Structure 1
C-alpha cells in the first residue's frame, strides 16, 4: 500500500508503514495502490505513466500486463468501498462515505463502457 499516507518522513529519512496489502497477487495491482483516492483525478494517467516508467527501469513490463492496470485500479477502488462498509465507525470511512461510493459507481460505469 505504497502511497503518501503510508510514508513517515523525518528529514531525509523515509519509512514505509502499512503492509496489509502485501502478499502474493498480481504485480499490476501494485500500480493501483499508489493512486488510491486519486484515480478519478486528471493526473491519475500521469501518475500511472510515471509508475510504469519506473517499473521498466527495473523489470520488463509486457504491454498486455500494462493494459490490465485500469482493471486493477477499478478493483482497488471497489475494495476501498468494501473497506468503508466494514469500517463505518472510523472517521475516515465517515468522511468518505456516500460521495466516495457514488464516485465509484461513476468510475465503474466509465470502465465498463470503455472495456465492454
Structure 2
C-alpha cells in the first residue's frame, strides 16, 4: 500500500498512516491518498455522517468507511475488494435478465 507517497508492506504501519492522514486532513475536499492493490485511493470526510472514507478507484469506484482500528481499516479495504467479483456476477445476471426482457418485448 502507498499512503502519501510512502510505500508500506506491513498492515499495521499502513493502518497507522491512514489514521494519521485522518488527523492531518484540514480540507473538506477529497484528496489523493495513495494506492492499494492496483486501485488509486481517494480520501474524504463525509460531513453529514461525520465519517472518513476511502474510495478505491478503478473502472468503477468502491467506497469504504473508515473506523479507528489500524487493522480494521485494512480489513475493510480487503473486504471491499473481495466483493468486486460478486458485484460483477450480479451485474452480469442483471444484464442477462435485461436482454431476455428486451427479446420478450420485441416478440
Higher strand share: 2
One fold, TM greater than 0.5?
no
The structure having more radius of gyration, on CA atoms, is 2
Q: Which has the higher contact order (CA 8 A, sep 6+)?
A: 1
TM-score by length of 2: 0.32
